Structure 1
Amino acid sequence: MQLDRTHVKVRARSLAEIGDLALCLVRRYPKALLVGFTLGALPWAVMNLLLLGWIPIQEARSGIFDEQTYYEGLRYVWLMVCLVFLQAPIAGNLTTYYIGQAVFEERPTWRAVLKACWQVKGATILSLGIIRGPLPAMLILATNWGGEFAPGREVFWVLMFVLWSMGTRALRPFIPEILLLERCPIRARDERSISAGRRSSLLHSPLSGDLIGRFLMIAMVCTCLALTVFYSLISIRGFLTNQWNWNLTIGSLDIPDVQIIWLPLALWIVAGLSVFIRFLCYLDARIRLEGWEVELAVRAEALRQFGTDSSPILSPPKAETVA
Structure 2
Amino acid sequence: MNFDSTHIVIRERGFAEVMDLALKVVRAHLGPLVLCGLAGVAPWAAANGLLLNGMVSDLDIWDETPGFLTLMTLVIAVQTPLATAPITLYMGQVTFQQQTDPRRIVSDYWRSLPQLLMHTVFRAAMAVTIIGLVLPYGFWPFTQELILLERNPMFAGRAKRMTTRRRSRNLHRSASGDLFGHWLAALSAGSLLVMALVGGVHTAASQLGGYQVTHTQLITVLTPACTWAVVCFFTVVRFLAYLDLRIRREGWEVELTMRSEAAKLARGMA
Query: Would you say same fold, with TM above 0.5?
Result: yes
More helix by share: 2
- Report the counterpart of residue 176 of structure 1 in structure 2: 144
Amino acid at match of 1:204: H
- Report the counterpart of residue 70 of structure 2 in structure 1: 78
| Contact 2:154-2:163 at 8 Å conserved across structures | yes
TM-score, normalised via structure 1 length: 0.77
Say whether residues 1:298 and 2:266 are aligned partners: no
- Report the counterpart of residue 149 of structure 1 in structure 2: none
Moved more, 68-77 or 237-246: 237-246
- Report the counterpart of residue 189 of structure 1 in structure 2: 157
- Report the counterpart of residue 251 of structure 1 in structure 2: none
Could you tell me how far 1:107 is from its partner in structure 2? 3.1
Could you tell me how far 1:217 is from its partner in structure 2? 0.9
Amino acid at match of 1:37: G
In 2, the alpha carbon distance for the partners of 1:122 and 1:159 equals 23
Could you tell me how far 1:305 is from its partner in structure 2? 1.9
Residues 18-33 of structure 1: pairs in structure 2 closer than 5 A:
18-33=18-33
How many residues are paired up? 268
TM-score, normalised via structure 2 length: 0.92
Moved more, 275-284 or 73-82: 73-82
In 1, the alpha carbon distance for the partners of 2:153 and 2:51 equals 32
| Contact 2:142-2:168 at 8 Å conserved across structures | yes
- Report the counterpart of residue 259 of structure 1 in structure 2: 219
In 1, the alpha carbon distance for the partners of 2:31 and 2:160 equals 36
Q: Select 2:116's aligned residue among 124, 147, 159.
A: 124
Could you tell me how far 1:100 is from its partner in structure 2? 0.8
In 1, the alpha carbon distance for the partners of 2:75 and 2:131 equals 12
Distance 1:283 1:54, change over 3 A: same
Residues 262-281 of structure 1: pairs in structure 2 closer than 5 A:
262-281=222-241
| Contact 2:3-2:257 at 8 Å conserved across structures | yes
Say whether residues 1:199 and 2:167 are aligned partners: yes
Residues 33-44 of structure 1: pairs in structure 2 closer than 5 A:
33-44=33-44
In 1, the alpha carbon distance for the partners of 2:198 and 2:213 equals 14
Say whether residues 1:165 and 2:133 are aligned partners: yes
| Contact 2:153-2:162 at 8 Å conserved across structures | yes
Encode CA deviations 1:27-66: one digit per residue, 9 max, x unaligned: 112134201111111111011001002223xx25xxxx3x
Structure 2 residues not aligned, in runs of 5+ = none
- Report the counterpart of residue 88 of structure 1 in structure 2: 80
Could you tell me how far 1:159 is from its partner in structure 2? 4.2
- Report the counterpart of residue 12 of structure 1 in structure 2: 12
In 1, the alpha carbon distance for the partners of 2:61 and 2:260 equals 61
In 2, the alpha carbon distance for the partners of 1:15 and 1:270 equals 17
State the secondary structure of the residue aligned to 1:278: helix
Amino acid at match of 1:257: Q
| Contact 2:202-2:213 at 8 Å conserved across structures | no
- Report the counterpart of residue 192 of structure 2 in structure 1: 224
Amino acid at match of 2:47: M
What's the % identity of the aligned pairs?
A: 30
- Report the counterpart of residue 101 of structure 1 in structure 2: 93
In 1, the alpha carbon distance for the partners of 2:122 and 2:137 equals 11
* Structure index of larger Rg: 1
In 1, the alpha carbon distance for the partners of 2:211 and 2:2 equals 54
In 2, the alpha carbon distance for the partners of 1:32 and 1:207 equals 32
- Report the counterpart of residue 2 of structure 2 in structure 1: 2
Moved more, 256-265 or 118-127: 256-265
Distance 1:101 1:4, change over 3 A: same
In 1, the alpha carbon distance for the partners of 2:61 and 2:45 equals 23
In 2, the alpha carbon distance for the partners of 1:193 and 1:82 equals 34
Distance 1:119 1:245, change over 3 A: closer
In 1, the alpha carbon distance for the partners of 2:209 and 2:266 equals 63
Residues 227-246 of structure 1: pairs in structure 2 closer than 5 A:
227-244=195-212, 246=214
Encode CA deviations 1:258-311: one digit per residue, 9 max, x unaligned: 23321111001100011011111100110011110011011112222225xxxx
In 1, the alpha carbon distance for the partners of 2:99 and 2:73 equals 32
Structure 1 residues not aligned, in runs of 5+ = 138-157, 248-255, 308-323
In 2, the alpha carbon distance for the partners of 1:102 and 1:116 equals 14
